[in-house]
Structure 1
């Protein structure tokens, strides 16, 4: 009688699951470190519920711009014009909300304004083969000038308006779970290690939230599902990886590029609506403040994926929130957090055999630690520009393991390739 020998093989988690758990572990470790820094520096604003709410307010327009860039670049079109499309969204949203008195009309108009900017970009880049960077810069310049002209035309003589701003605008309803604040508020006030910080996080994420903020948060998993879990998303992403192969399989490459760029513009326009009608109650010239470009930085930081993009937008929004709520003290306390992160990097690089990189990281950690101990605050200029400095640092550190869509930015012609 023959016997079969069965050998049990260990179950190994798929790479995607391992990466997901690794990212979650890093995020949790960073939150624990932030809680420890809050205890050490005595800066409750670092993890307070108000800071979390402000982080959401600053992160949403950046995240929407970055999500718009992700849609376009996954289809092979680089969208530098996100800033201009956000400007279209701010003005058209404000105009429709002011003339109708209905904030939802403003939301629809703002999104359509962004779609209009996306249409210009798609016609220029997809149909006529204009360089993507040139087209995007032209849209940014066009948007600023055109909206200034329209403001003079429609807002200058309106009550409370002017050549560079609109009259007061109606607001959106706010949603939340009020019982969470009453239940966890006393826990947050105790300032316990980690527990109070988690309470502040939950309160900040569940109370007094604009419905537009909730919509923006839901758009992140929705975009992931559409782009990575549906045949439509597979075809769209194939246009950004290898449009020739996609065309050979019957994919209408130009059509998918148009759809992606129009959605990109609509998302940027929604970010503009948020700036004019949620973060503020009026349209103002220069309201976008470079958030379209920071959104592109968040997209690159996130490696052209929605989850990473949301983390990048949250990071930039957090530095913005600290600069507004905590002034120099809270930003000064971040020196300790950055020093701890550099120590962790030094240990990791040492274990991987990269002694020089580990030494440089440890040296910078010592410098930052000494800077914190020898000073009480940071110069006002550093505090003011801390979000932009964070953008530059993150971009410098994140560019080593990036994989952009292979055909992003390349001109493409049907039947003729790149």
Structure 2
């Protein structure tokens, strides 16, 4: 047994305690929690009898399916256990473990919840239109249905996608590797318990269903996307890969990070109305080949995560444990707060400096890492870990 130090200014202290799935030296993956730079096996910390048998599972899904009251109970038990003596065999240094995709992703929807991002793309793609937003944008959270099988954990290489594209100088479509490969810095929300088909989740009840939050990079092939997306929206330009961070920050840990969303005018329809629509004060950082190029603020997002989940289910669509829905690109009002390179470089016309080089879109070998922090209890901050991917050549 050993006693762990409690570091008050740690991004991964008792106020955070994110969940993940780890293995050591090829062992079977198991559920863990992170404290500072330690990975702590929850089955060995809390035992695996009764309801705790879920901690021996290779994903968080069985634990998440136990529901909100159980999440509260387990979080309290972890905090109490970590203040005492911890079994030595439950402890691993972060550098000694392999981290896995923390959830079995059942389904995936990506939204478009930043007014700044949507307005910037409107100005880029529809420069003659006096209103950069589409007519429906402030009435509903716009989204598209993604491909869950292409969600991968941080550190997985991203193969450059191939597909059709048609540039301004092309007489007809051509096929080949994307030449305008981009990122989208987002947050992903993980559904812990869903709704039955034909029912819906009210916006006010969404917190009972949202288990936690991850960093999310929705890699985007802008040239493939531009040719295919009219009239049905993104498909192959998005479906090749999305990366999430390995640590799931519980929504229970983010209560101090809640902020009001911007004023929603015109008034939204009743199913999207809330007494107090909440966003999250999460500050992201995008690092391109080791250099910070932008700092998107999630607090600027127009639509609440609760409204996004309510909209997903209002037509009776079912959600399941492990469903992921992402926020869409996070962008603020300033240029250095834009969460996609198509915005940051204004469609490639305004290159940014990366390690002394002018850059627009991603080249083979480039690495992008997302990090983020949010307010925690007692004036501290909590971290989300890293969401990293490196671009590999097309195959």
Q: TM-score scaled by structure 2?
A: 0.24
Higher helix share: 1
Q: TM-score scaled by structure 1?
A: 0.23
Larger RCO: Structure 1 or Structure 2 (Cα < 8 Å, ≥ 6 residues apart)? 1
